[in-house]
Structure 1
Amino acid sequence: MGAWDDLDERLRPGVEAHVREFERVRPALDRVTAAMRDSIAGIFEGTDLNPLFVTARTKTIDSFRDKASRTLPSPEEGAPPLLVFPDPMRNLTDLVGVRIITTLPHEVDLAANLLKRQRQEFDCRGDREKDIGSIESGTYGYSSRHLIMRTIHHDVVRAFQQAVDPETRAAGSYLFEVQIRTVLAHAWSEIEHDIRFKASNPKAWSPYFDRQFTGTAAMLETVESAFAELHERYETVTGFWDEDGEGSAPLTPNRIRDVWQTLLPHVDRKSDDNWGWAAELLAAHGLRTTLELVSLLQADTITTVRRALDHRYSPGPDRLLDDMLLWHYGERHIELTAEPKDAESTSRRDSLQRRHRQMEVYRAQHPDT
């Protein structure tokens, strides 16, 4: 049951007149919709942001009729209700709607900011976060950024305005809506809309459906957060390999700790933040930049070293870094970092030599490593 079905009979003739007018000019409005889609999609060309897709739609006649039929109670007793949109062709800002679907949550803000900077073509007249279920209320639901954009001196809009009223002085300014959301939020909202709002029999609705939608919305938020964290880690790791940027950063103890915890968070059981020992080990081999450290800590090599030494216990950062340097530099690592051969105690030298022999045996058995 929609607003049209419940509309007061006294208001129906006026709404029907608006619907007929909308139906008459809708072909011209379709051309506005296509032009807005192309303009919005073109904004992202040549930028670092590539939405998954940009689509657009003109409001359907049935949807227009239903929205034009929305009412508020009249303040005068016995009077007919008041239409929320008494002139829907001018009051409604979503007759033309453009939808931008991004991959990650942070891209929603990037897309919105990019659109709002197109001041030669558009003027942003509204910007809000439409969240069905809000953080403040402790509930869940899909989040969508909604912008109300106004065209500036657009020729296709002028043609539409003249179709509406040939006598008007068409300015080429027109309000339309842009929705921006992630692909996961988009999928959730589409499914919810089909089930919750398009149910053929509202009496068949069960409160358990609401519970399930709330549960899936919570999972959606968790998954989006995980993807956002993955993206952030990827961007950080990629930066480590930039020899002209982050890769050139010197290996201070704190820098080594940060790189290690980014690349190998599962191998970090140190009880303190003193990574000076690591800086000394690396400096012994002239390794002084971030790029040199990440080149050393390759995952496949770490796996090979673990197999070669058949660690009885999972090594911590200090032991694993020592083993990686020993794998790469062999006897040189022993001579640079162990006690002199004639020292009273040579426990480190003995340990390194034992591990080096294990590595050589493994290499002989696995010549491709």
Structure 2
Amino acid sequence: MTSMEALPAEEPVSDSSFDLQGHVSRAQNDYSEVFALYEDFSRTAESILETCLNNEKIYTHSITSRVKSIESFSKKVGRQSRESPGTPKYSDPLRQITDLAGVRVITYFLSTVRDVERVIRREFEIIERIDKSKLFEKEQRLGYQSFHYLVKLKENRNTLPEYAKFSDLVAEIQVRTILQHAWAEIEHDIQYKATYALPIEIKRRFMALAGLIEIADREFQAIEEKDHELIQAARSSVAQGALGGLEITPDALKAYLDRKYGADGRVSPYTYSWAVDLLNALGFKDLAEVDKAVAGFNDGEISRIVYGSRQGQLSRFEDVLLAALGEQYIEKHLWNRGNEDDWFPAAARVKMEKLRAAGVEVGLRKLPDAG
């Protein structure tokens, strides 16, 4: 059995003498036959989402998929109808239970939730979009927040041989922030373990936390937007040469070095962070002080004197700092452990001797706090 259309029709449900256990058993057998198909479908939906989000550089905390277990499916099929006790809630389980295949996307920021939805709309046919925060009163979910999408593959994918077998299947995609996810998981765990209705005091605490998490999500979003704004402002200042008072951050330093020494795509963000730590250890307070210290030095020439060839951007920058500051650079360097026999001071002094031998005046610049 490879598609939803191949599934047998359920017997009609009409009276209280209905064999509920037999209904569960038949549905379980039917689901067992297509379980592997749904498992494959959930992984495929996850892969489509992950690839598309990565291609657009939309960063998330995690993207995971799962297929509903046969045990969980059987429990759900065994639920009785509220309107007609004794009869099943799901008369046609494989068609009515829509979360057999599932994908969950957890984001860091609220704005990313919107970005993920845009990709879902483009890549899938959305059957239904559910905002769980609008349903919490009816479902007594105590402020649960998440967007759920029931989706199918679009026709353009269904025509491809590798996707054709999924043409009639539905998957549920959940999208929420990491704070919403933590809240929902804890709330679900407490609700699930409870053998009684939760006391009003507990419900009130959950509601209060839901409000705090909403505020926190908004604040994190505001921080992310402000960080982006500051990064753009710093890049603009570097481009204009307005370095006075410009904080030394990894992004600002990269922009400065790209402009001064040429871009180098081999340098990792971590390495720029390390370089910022070094400049802080040396006592520089803004990029104007850094620029003043290295002004007038030919980075390519210094690199060729020290190594015999032109090195990468940050290596050239560090050797210019060594040439400019001399012993001050060695004394305050992050790798100097105060041992004169240590490898770093010895290696740095070998470099200085090469520079002096080539006619470079070493150590003429002073650190900001050295006057």
Q: Shorter chain as normaliser: what TM range?
A: 0.5 to 0.7
Shift in Å, 1:17: 0.6
- Displacement of 1:13 in angstroms is 1.4
Aligned partner (choices 183, 200, 203) of residue 207 of structure 1: 200
Contact (CA 8 Å) 1:10, 1:80: kept in 2 or not? Answer: no
Residue 45 of structure 1 is matched in structure 2 by: 54
Q: Which amino acid aligns with 2:29?
A: R
* 1:31 has 2:24 as partner: no
Q: Does 1:298 align with 2:246?
A: yes
Cα distance change, pair 41–366 in 1 and its aligned pair in 2 (3 A): closer
The answer for the alignment partner of 2:231 in structure 1 is: 238
Seen in structure 2, the aligned counterparts of structure 1 residues 8 and 193 have a Cα distance that, compared at 3 Å, is farther
Aligned to 1:315: none
How far apart are residue 9 of structure 1 and its match?
A: 5.9
8 Å contact kept, 2:18–2:87: no
Q: What SS does structure 2 have at the residue aligned with 1:180?
A: strand
Q: How far does residue 131 in structure 1 lie from its aligned partner after superposition? A: 1.2
Q: Distance in 1 between matches of 2:203 and 2:246?
A: 47
- Equivalent residue runs for 1:170-319 within 5 Å: 172-196=167-191, 198-199=192-193, 201-203=194-196, 205-243=198-236, 295-298=243-246
Task: Tell me, in whole angstroms, the C-alpha distance in 1 between the residues paired with 2:115 and 2:202.
Answer: 34
Amino acid at match of 1:177: E
AA aligned to 1:180 is V
1:71–1:177 distance in 2 versus 1, CA, 3 Å:
same
Q: Secondary structure at the match of 2:119?
A: helix
Which residue of structure 2 aligns with residue 91 of structure 1?
96
2:127 to 103, 107, 125: 125
The answer as to 2:143 corresponding to 1:141 is yes
Q: Secondary structure of 2:98's match?
A: coil
Q: Aligned equivalents of 1:133 and 1:34: distance in 2?
A: 28
| Structure 1 residue 33: Cα displacement | 1.7
Count, aligned residues: 235
Q: Give 1:106 deviation, angstroms.
A: 1.1
The separation in 2 between residues aligned to 1:133 and 1:217, in whole angstroms, is 14
SS in 2 for 1:94: coil
The match for 2:114 is 109
Cα distance in 1 for residues equivalent to 2:119 and 2:46: 15
What is the CA deviation profile of residues 60-93 of structure 1, one whole-angstrom value per residue up to 9, with x for unaligned ones? 223212322344355xxxx765544211112222
Structure 2: distance between partners of 1:238 and 1:25: 51
Change (3 A) 1:10 1:237: same
Aligned partner of 2:12 in structure 1 is none
SS of residue in 2 equivalent to 1:18 = helix
**SS of equivalent to 1:141:** coil
SS in structure 1 at match of 2:59: coil
- Determine if contact 1:157/1:174 at 8 Å carries over to the other structure: no
Q: Does the residue aligned with 2:128 lie in a helix, a strand or coil?
A: strand
Give the Cα–Cα distance (whole angstroms) in 1 for the partners of residues 17 and 183 of structure 2.
35
Identity %: 23
* 8 Å Cα contact 2:108/2:177 also seen in 1: yes
1:132 positional shift: 6.5
Q: 1:131 to 1:105 in 2, by over 3 A?
A: same
Matches within 5 A, 1:9-88: 10-73=19-82, 82-88=87-93
Structure 2, unaligned runs of 5 or more: 1-15, 249-285, 290-365
One-letter code aligned to 1:237: L
Q: 2:294 — aligned with what? A: none
Q: Where is the helix percentage greater, Structure 1 or Structure 2?
A: 2
Distance (whole Å) between structure 1 residues aligned to residue 129 and residue 80 of structure 2:
25
The answer as to whether partners of 2:60 and 2:105 remain within 8 angstroms in 1 is yes
- Conserved 8 A contact 1:18-1:89: yes
TM-score normalised according to structure 2 size: 0.55
Cα displacement string for residues 153-186 of structure 1 (whole angstroms, at most 9, x for unaligned residues) = 16556557xxxxxxxxxxx332111101111111
- The question of whether the paired residues in 2 share the 8 Å contact of 1:8 and 1:80 is answered with no
Q: Which runs of 5+ in 1 are unaligned?
A: 1-6, 161-171, 249-288, 301-323, 328-363
Distance 1:155 1:96 in 2: 20
Contact 2:82 2:89 in 1 (8 A): no
Counterpart residue type for residue 66 of structure 2:
R
**TM-score normalized with structure 1 length:** 0.55
Take 2:227 and 2:45, find their aligned partners in 1: how far apart are those partners?
A: 34
Change (3 A) 1:142 1:238: farther
**What's the Cα RMSD here?**
3.5
